[in-house]
């Protein structure tokens, strides 16, 4: 509910942009938070699924710009529940969120930079947007942090994976 305003955007601009990019029509009930997607006018039915992911991404804390990456068929959205690692213990959930974000956002920023994904920590979830290879790497890094690995070990893992990706992209 608290993200409905972001989904609609100033003067409805975010909603319009999502509709233009995907060819679907969004019906948003700002009182209940219910969102309906009408894909009858979409040229590509898979864009309705992409629109669903875009709305979920905005609901999970991503900006419009980051969420709209999901229009690209090579980009994926994945959400992990912190409670899977902390149980229902509110204090432990907050500790793990703090570990993921890091001091002044350092850990989150490093995971994003080294993996090439966008990451949002919102509520009890961590959400990722990226291509299939990079999102798998970022997910593993997030799991490592949530399981208690030292940050330095997570950063080394990400640096090694980044080197592997660069080598693969260059054809080695």
Please give the pLDDT value at position 126: 98
- Give the domain-ending residue among 26, 43, 71: 71
Q: Which domain holds residue 89?
A: 75-170
Q: What is the CATH number of the domain that holds 22?
A: 3.30.1370.10
Q: What 8-state DSSP symbol labels residue 126?
A: E
The DSSP H or E segment spanning 41 is none
Q: What is the pLDDT of residue 105?
A: 96
Mark which of 28, 47, 71 sits at the end of a domain.
71
Q: What is the mean pLDDT of the chain?
A: 94
Per-residue pLDDT band for 170 (boundaries 50, 70, 90) equals confident
Please state the separation of Cα 115 from the chain's center in Å.
13
Domain check: are 80 and 162 in the same one? yes
pLDDT score at 53: 96
Cβ contact 162:140 at 8 Å: no
Same domain membership, residue 103 and residue 84 = yes
Asked if 138 contacts 115 with a C-beta cutoff of 8 angstroms, the reply is yes
Give the total number of structural domains in the chain: 2
Give the confidence band of 168 by pLDDT, cuts at 50, 70, 90: confident
- H-run or E-run covering 128: strand 125-131
């Amino acid at each position: 509910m608290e993200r409905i305003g972001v989904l609609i955007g100033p003067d409805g601009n975010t909603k319009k942009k999502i509709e233009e990019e995907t060819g679907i029509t969004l019906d948003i009930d700002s009182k209940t938070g219910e969102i309906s997607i009408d894909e009858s006018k979409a040229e590509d039915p898979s864009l309705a699924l992409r629109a669903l992911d875009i709305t979920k991404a905005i609901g999970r804390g991503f900006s419009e710009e980051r969420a709209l990456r999901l229009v690209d068929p090579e980009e994926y959205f994945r959400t992990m529940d912190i409670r899977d690692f902390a149980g229902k213990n509110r204090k432990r959930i907050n500790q793990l969120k703090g570990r993921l974000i890091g001091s002044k956002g350092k850990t989150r920023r490093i995971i994003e930079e080294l993996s090439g994904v966008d990451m949002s920590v919102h509520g009890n979830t961590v959400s990722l947007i990226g291509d299939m290879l990079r999102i798998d790497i970022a997910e593993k890094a997030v799991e490592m942090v949530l399981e208690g690995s030292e940050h330095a070990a997570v950063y080394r893992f990400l640096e090694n994976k980044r080197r592997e990706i660069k080598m693969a992209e260059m054809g080695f």
